[in-house]
Amino acid sequence: MGVRLAEFTAKFKEAFFEDLTTLRLRKAQHYPAATEPRYINRMIEMIRSLEASDIAYKAEDGSVYFRISRFPDYGKLAHLNLEELRPSGRINNDEYEKEAVGDFALWKAWTEEDGDVYWDSPWGRGRPGWHIECSAMATALLGPQLDIHCGGVDNMFPHHEAEIAQSECVTGKQFVRHWLHCAHLMVDGQKMSKSLGNFYTLRDLLARGYSGREIRFSLITVHYRLPLNFTLSGLDSARAALMRIDAWVSRLRSLSGGTPHETAIEATTSADRFLSALDEDLNISGAMGHLFDWLRESNRAMDLGTLSPGQATHTLEEFQRINHILAFEEEKIRIPSEVQSLVEERQRARANKNWALSDELRDAIAAKGWLLKDTKLGPELTMAAGR
């Protein structure tokens, strides 16, 4: 209350962009805001165009609605037959001044509770409807026709239907060539919702000691059209799988050298197999299967000593082709100096074969939340995941 809209939304935007970085998501070229004047103007323009062709009408409450009877394809995307819709009880007919229940708002007349959030329009003060915002911004930036439009399945109806209706009535062109609808995110077997309180924020998970790439891995493992049940044990298995990839990469690195040389075992080009799996409607699980097959095969070759330095270099280069997509490389973790000095002290104890002190120091390090393991390349630290 009393907080300006822009001020209120700023912190959420900031958190959103932080999250993108944490999850290693490539940034989009544009992040349009529906409140920008150029888009508000475009929305108004579109609504005027619809009004001119008698598809939009202004109702008594001052709001402008889309007359869905003028767009026969409305409901086609979601396979809904509008005549057979079951009244869900959620609509209170008397509350609206619409001609038909299904008509959706293009422009909403200002009401008391909108406060200072309003724009002037040919229909008076008000604000745009949700659907027109997307049509206006999308067509402004991408033109009248989109190759791919993504969104959650839950938005298929009515939102995507409305977008199609508005856009096509204005531009006269097919709005979207391909729709990619992704399934819901579930948490611990239930739909994630505020009322159930069964949600984790990215910050919660980071605070529990999980890293961005572990969360990324966990989220990536399921096909986009299938619901993903997010669990902490899923994160644990992501962590284990990533450590295995890390170990493989560092093993290849220490072996690599010289001129890249193709290996006999992956003459079938593992990276190609990975990528062509993704070409099949983003079959990430199939692609990951290829990655791990490849990992095992080259590990076996290294065990047998049949992988040459040049082949190791080549394998790393091939891996980069898919890591470009996966972005699974290890992150630099910041080790507190107090922990670091304990590690150094322990190394001295080990050099003196003082195993008792060494073990004691490892416990001390563990008490500070770090897991230490001795590898051929020296001690390695991992942040312990909490519960």
Partner RNA sequence: GGCGGGGUCGCCAAGUGGUAAGGCCGAGCUCUGCAAAAGCUCUAUCGCGGGUUCGAUUCCCGCCCCCGCCUCCA
Q: Which of residues 208-227 bind RNA (CB under 7 A)?
A: 221-223, 225-227
Q: Rg of the chain over CA atoms, in angstroms?
A: 28
96 touches RNA by CB under 7 A: yes
276 touches RNA by CB under 7 A: no
Nearer to RNA, 35 or 172 (CB): 35
13 touches RNA by CB under 7 A: no
Residue 368: closest CA among 340, 339, 337: 339
Stretch that binds RNA, among 46-54, 116-124, 207-215, 293-301 (CB under 7 A): 293-301
Out of 60, 94, 147, 303, which residue is the one contacting RNA (CB under 7 A)? 303
The bridge status of strand 176-182 relative to strand 64-66 is unpaired
Nearer to RNA, 99 or 204 (CB): 99
Out of 350, 364, 369, 381, which residue is the one contacting RNA (CB under 7 A)? 350
Out of 62, 289, 309, 369, which residue is the one contacting RNA (CB under 7 A)? 289
* Contact indicator for 104, 70 with CB cutoff of 8 Å: no
Minimum CB separation of residue 53 from RNA in Å reads 20
Nearer to RNA, 15 or 173 (CB): 15
Minimum CB separation of residue 195 from RNA in Å reads 12
Q: Which one-letter amino acid corresponds to residue 360?
A: E
Rounded distance between C-alpha atoms, residue 190 and residue 207, angstroms:
23
DSSP code string of 161-222: HHHHHHHHHHH-S-SEEEEEEE--EEETTEE--TTTT----HHHHHHTT--HHHHHHHHHTS
108 touches RNA by CB under 7 A: yes
Minimum CB separation of residue 259 from RNA in Å reads 25
- In the window 73-92, what residues touch RNA (CB under 7 A)? 78-82, 84-88, 90-91
Per-residue mark of binding to RNA, 230-269 (x: CB under 7 A): -x-xx-xx--xx-xx--xx--x------------------
Total residues in contact with RNA, by rule CB under 7 A: 81
Q: 3-state SS of the chain: helix, strand, coil percent to 5?
A: 50, 15, 35
Q: Residue by residue, what is the 3-state secondary structure of 29-92?
A: CCCCCCCCHHHHHHHHHHHHHHHHCCCEEECCCCCEEECHHHCCCCCCCCCCCHHHCCCCCCCC
Q: H or E segment at 374? A: strand 370-375
199 touches RNA by CB under 7 A: no
183 touches RNA by CB under 7 A: yes
Nearer to RNA, 173 or 377 (CB): 377
Rounded distance between C-alpha atoms, residue 72 and residue 80, angstroms:
12
Minimum CB separation of residue 280 from RNA in Å reads 6
Nearer to RNA, 77 or 146 (CB): 77
CA 268 to chain centre: 31
Nearer to RNA, 210 or 248 (CB): 248
φ and ψ at residue 265, rounded to 5 degrees:
-65, -25
Nearer to RNA, 195 or 259 (CB): 195
Minimum CB separation of residue 294 from RNA in Å reads 10
Q: Which one-letter amino acid corresponds to residue 285?
A: S
- In the window 125-144, what residues touch RNA (CB under 7 A)? 129-130, 133
Residue 27: closest CA among 11, 16, 39: 16
Give the full edge-to-edge strand order of the sheet including 56-58. 56-58, 64-66, 104-109, 126-128
